[in-house]
Structure 1
Amino acid sequence: MISKILKKENNIVTIEFTVSQEEFEKSVNKAYLKVKNTINVQGFRKGKAPRHIIEKKYGKSIFYDDALDFAIQEEYPKAVAEHKLDVIDSPKVNIEKFEEGQEIIVTADVEVMPEVELPEYKGVEVVKTELKVTDEDVEKELKAVQEKNARIVEVTDRPVQNGDFLTIDYSGFVGEEQFEGGTAVNQSLEIGSNSFIPGFEEQLIGKSKDEEIEVKVTFPEDYHSEDLKGKEAVFKVTIHEIKVKELPEIDDELAKDVSEFDSLEELKADTRKTLEQKAVDSSKIANDNNVITKIVNDAKIEIPEVLIQREIEYLGRNYEQQFRQQGFSGKEYDDIIKNFVDQYKEGARNQAEFNVKAELVLEAIIKKEEIKVSEEELTAEIEKIAQSYKIEADRMEAFKKSMMESSASYVEETLQKRKVIDMLVGNAVFVEPVEVKTEEISE
């Protein structure tokens, strides 16, 4: 096989390669073996007719289409390997010359990984992010603890108020007809949560226990059920229970109940310590992201559309998985989830472009800096993964061996990216944010 690059425009490379008559003859024989069982020839059992008999009856070209496919599948990867092309999509193949008894000339337009023009990536200057914990943050966290330890108690001496928790029965009607999915028994509802159709919850305020109410609503135009979009409906509602959230006092007693501390001051101090550690961690993540974002944005690269579309599909699958993990599974949710995922993918292009560009930029820096992962580092990381999965001692060696065989490349790439990010952040220059004075804002 002889191959050469004819031209390169942007990320499209045109390569030319040849298929010798000897190689093509082998491919014709493969084609014969593939289709012989589908060809009927009088005097022969199906699949037993020799190749030359079939060619005599139907012509030699009967096998050529399949033979060309076999030959290209054989020779095209060799041409790609010879020119060290990093291919990202299927080639567009054209037969340039095909004459009996002569070598075949084939061209292929193939999209390859783009070249990355890196900016100066060492000593990048970015504004420092340093999150601070305030007294308000601590109070907010204590209020969350208070909410978590609230009691729900029944009230019988007053009607429904905003914020109450109700237990209700309801039946929904459009006209005189009760519609599917509009009926429930002992349904929980928090007034003011806006979890029901707009206008439903407000009409229960001021009503009493055991009271039967008719609630009139109009379904939104974007409601998920086509049969109910924009329709007026009446719900017949019975209130069985009215409950209210009773919050504990934020005091020493609460501290004793929810922690190992004997006083509120000790709980506050521990809460602040925890929040400050989270602030440090979040600040580091933000600073890392700011450095990488700066470098990625400054790099010049023409991103192939095929990579963007693949990333959009990947983001869409992750988004759908989040729904499934939250319990939205089964056919009744499929159309709803698909609609959400499709909407998400429509708006995911910018994120997909950035993700692809960041991946290519980091890979280019790894290659330029010749960042390597040692065998010891790889083994240590796989041991960490094994420990995170809480693998039992008697299965540990088998697990690590399996990881080395199946996922070593992925783990190595992960470690390389971690190293390059540490290097880039370690070389970055962090400057304090400019303090804008009130007078400057008013001007």
Structure 2
Amino acid sequence: MEFTAKKNNNASCDLTITFSANEVDVAYKKAYESASGKVKVPGFRPGKAPLHMVEKVLGDSVMDDAANIMLNNAMADLFDKLEHKPIRIPQFQVESFDRKAGAKAKTTYDTKPEVTLPKLKKIKIQPKEIKITDADLQKELEGMQKNMARNTLKEEGEAVEMTDLLEIQYKFKEDGKEFPEATQTGKFQMGAPQNPPGFDSELVGMKLNEEKEFNFRYPDSFPASPESAGKLFVYQVKVTALYRVSYPEINDDFASELDGSANLQELKNKTKKQLEDLFNDALKKKGIDEAYAEILKETKFLIPQSLIEEETDGVFHNFIHEFRLPHTTLPEYAKRLGKEESEVRASFAQAAEKRIQTYLLKHKIGEDNKITISDEELAAGFEKEATSQGISAESLLKEVQKQKAETFYRDKFLFDKIDQFVYGEVDKKSPKSVSTEEAEKLLSGKE
């Protein structure tokens, strides 16, 4: 057996194998041996006929089996000798197969993806750091203050005010339609920011057990309930309970009652630190994402098209599952959208290629820099993951083993370690201080 292998520039390799006549003859004999237990030879029980009799009965009918045997044995022998290894079993085209002249077979197989990294220290990003102001602290304290609100039942005859909490029975209908038979009950906080503008004023002045019917038109733009925007509704409301909402004064006593802080200043210091940690952790993750985006621009990839096609199908099925859409195929989905399958597939293929590139990139960085996960780090990773899920590490490990997800979590913890390495390696310009408002826009992708 002789072979030639030629590496292509698209993560594939052309392989040609030639076999001697003797090797073809050996493959035929193995095919006859394999078939001998099933072939019927007159005068012999199945599997008991001499091999030359089996050969006489079967003749060249076992040629395909012989070729497969020969090629499978050849690939097992060649695998370690090939400089560029196939990532799946090659499919050969047999050009000739003759017991007297020998055989020749060709294939083009996909090879392992190739990644050429840039110098990480040449990648530049500008990290962001949060700047917590007194106004930010005050806003947080006021949120805590609302959580410590005290509700006092108002006496009969007292009227609804703009800061009260109501228990109500109500019905509503769109103008021109019928009221539903069932009456709903619920609580309504006057002055809450999510209330439709002007709705609260319809309730001001009502008293306990008083009933009122009124018309209310929603604003033309109302994101909280887009289906109601611009429409006129008729409401029937009855106040069944009325509470005066009072808030504790933000002072040392407030701080002590909230979490045992010695005084208000200590509570402010802790709150500021918590806000800084929360925002800076999120901004660092954003910075890591930006670093990878820049690295990807400078990285060269050779990825087999077959891998991208496989991942495209995976991305599509994840999309269907995530949005809880009815099970369907990509061609059927394209048909429902009224688009060409190629157009829809291309959009999912783009996401698939980006996902493969990111995965390969992280593995390459880890490999080149000898970044690994020790048993201690793996255990610490499970402890941290279990805490975030609110379960014990033992319970998480049992579930991971049940789902056979050990590799997934090892990669996750490894990638977290690689992320920290990348952030430490890239060139970080002078950090830019941002306000909480700016940070929220950055983190939400609105800036």
Does TM-score exceed 0.5, indicating one fold?
yes
Report the TM-score, using the length of structure 2 for normalisation.
0.59
Corresponding residue number in structure 2 for 1:97:
96
Aligned counterparts of 2:182 and 2:149: Cα–Cα separation in 1: 27
Task: Write out per-residue CA displacement over residues 193-235 of structure 1, whole angstroms, 9 at most, x where no aligned residue.
Answer: 9x9xxx9xx99996998889999xxxxxxxxxxxxxxxxxxx9
Q: Could you tell me how far 1:272 is from its partner in structure 2?
A: 1.0
Long gaps (5+) in structure 2: 217-232, 338-343, 387-391, 434-447
Q: Flag the 1:319–1:145 CA change in 2: closer, same or farther, 3 A.
A: farther
> What does residue 384 of structure 1 align with?
380
* 2:354 match: 354
Q: Structure 1 45/278 Cα, relative in aligned 2: closer, same or farther at 3 Å? A: farther
Q: Distance between the aligned counterparts of 1:296 and 1:387, measured in 2?
A: 32
Alignment map for 1:2-401 (pairs within 5 Å): 2-18=2-18, 20-21=23-24, 22-27=26-31, 29-30=33-34, 36=38, 60-61=60-61, 63-88=62-87, 91-101=90-100, 103-146=102-145, 148=147, 248=247, 251-252=250-251, 255-261=255-261, 264-314=264-314, 335=326, 349-369=349-369, 371=370, 373=372, 378-385=374-381, 387-388=383-384, 390=392
**Structure 1 position 278, deviation (Å):** 2.0
Would the aligned equivalents of 1:167 and 1:188 in 2 still touch at CA under 8 Å? yes
Whole-Å separation in 2 of the counterparts to 1:187 and 1:32: 81
Q: 1:58 to 1:187 in 2, by over 3 A?
A: farther
TM-superposed deviation, 1:168: 6.1
How far apart are the structure 2 equivalents of 1:237 and 1:337? Answer: 43
Query: Shift of residue 274 of structure 1?
Result: 0.6
Secondary structure (helix, strand or coil) at the match of 1:130 reads strand
* Structure 2 Cα separation of the partners of residues 75 and 10 of structure 1: 25
Deviation at 1:421, TM superposition (A): 4.4
Structure 2 CA distance for partners of 1:246 and 1:82, relative to 1, 3 Å = farther
Q: Could you tell me how far apart the structure 1 residues matched to 2:14 and 2:182 are? A: 65
- Across the two proteins, how many residue pairs are aligned to each other? 384
3-state SS of 1:98 partner = strand
2:426 maps to amino acid:
A
1:306 CA displacement: 3.6
Secondary structure of the structure 2 residue equivalent to 1:3: strand
- Cα gap change, 1:47 to 1:17, in 2 (>3 Å): same
Q: What amino acid does structure 2 have at the position aligned with 1:107?
A: K
Identity, in percent, stands at 19
In the TM superposition, what whole-angstrom CA distance separates every residue of 1:289-338 from its partner, at most 9, and x where no partner exists? 33333222111224444434444555566667767xxxxxxxxx662999
Secondary structure in structure 2 of the residue aligned to 1:425: helix
Q: Report the Cα distance in structure 2 between the residues aligned to 1:185 and 1:32, rounded to whole angstroms.
A: 82
* Secondary structure class of the residue paired with 2:300: coil
- SS of the equivalent of 1:301 reads strand
Asked if structure 1 preserves the Cα contact closer than 8 Å seen for 2:2 and 2:17, the reply is yes
2:426 to 422, 428, 438: 428
Aligned-CA RMSD value: 6.0
Deviation of 1:27 (Å): 4.5
User: Cα distance 1:272–1:72, how it changes in 2: closer, same or farther (>3 A)?
Assistant: same
Question: Once the 2 structures are TM-superposed, how far is the Cα of residue 121 of structure 1 from its aligned partner?
Answer: 2.4
Q: Would the alpha carbon gap of residues 103 and 381 (structure 1) be closer, same or farther in structure 2, given more than 3 Å must change?
A: farther
Q: 1:368 to 1:261 in 2, by over 3 A?
A: closer
Contact 1:315 1:345 in 2 (8 A): no
Alignment partners' CA distance in 2, 1:334 and 1:408:
29
- Tell me the equivalent position of 1:439: none
